[in-house]
Amino acid sequence: MLKIWRWYKNCLAIHPLKTQIISSGLIWGLGDLAAQAVTRATAVKKKYIFLSEDDRDLRINWRRVITTSIFGMAFVGPIGHYWYEGLDRFLTFRLQYPIKSMRFVAMKVGLDTIIFGPVDLFVFFTYMGFASGKNVSQVKEDVKRDFLPALVVEGGLWPIVQVINFRFVPVKYQLLYVNLFCLLDSCFLSWLDQQQDAPWKQWFKGFSFDKYKSRDG
């Protein structure tokens, strides 16, 4: 394990962006494998109620694994790499916050929660919808159904994770730290998708879209 870590550090020092992209793709792919295991374990207990006809043989959906891995490589890897390092430069050079100080960590967590978190979720749900063959209206309905519940639940957990990350983890390893937690996050998002149109989701859906639509006429 120590040799693998040394190899990773060496790759990160020589090819930082390429290493972040590849490692993000691998970790997100593993996360989807874990999510599929959770989906199937839950579905078996509920007599396959959440599984489509194609998935009821309980075999791994490798197409979905590859699709999720591509999201990690194409979006999380490059965007996360520049996002975390760019935030550090902005806070230290433009705002003159001492690195790792309380103000520095609080501002970085706040910006990450307000900007990167919602964008990441929106892109994920949209991309996965289109990648699975859904049309625009179907993807829109999925986003309306799942985006706000995911944002609320994750908004209560990720700031805690990121406080530790931004306070104690060097910036070049912060994306790796986040990706490792995304292994668990993938299981949550898979469970969220299983809930389909559960009553608690309907409350979020009506609150977030229909109410504002009616206000605007």
Whole-number pLDDT of residue 191: 63
Query: What is the spatial distance between Cα 67 and Cα 7, in angstroms, rounded to a whole number?
Result: 27
Asked if residue 198 is part of any domain, the answer here is: yes
Confidence tier at 175 by pLDDT (50, 70, 90)? very high
Q: Which domain holds residue 160?
A: 2-212
Domain count, the chain: 1
Q: Which amino acid is at 121?
A: L
Q: Give 142's pLDDT tier (boundaries 50, 70, 90).
A: confident
Rounded CA separation 104/96 (Å): 9
Q: Is residue 206 part of a domain?
A: yes
pLDDT of residue 153: 83
Does the structure show a pLDDT above 60 at 216?
Answer: no
217 in a structural domain: no
Is 53 inside a domain boundary?
A: yes
Does the pTM surpass 0.75? The reply is: yes
In a domain, 123, yes or no: yes
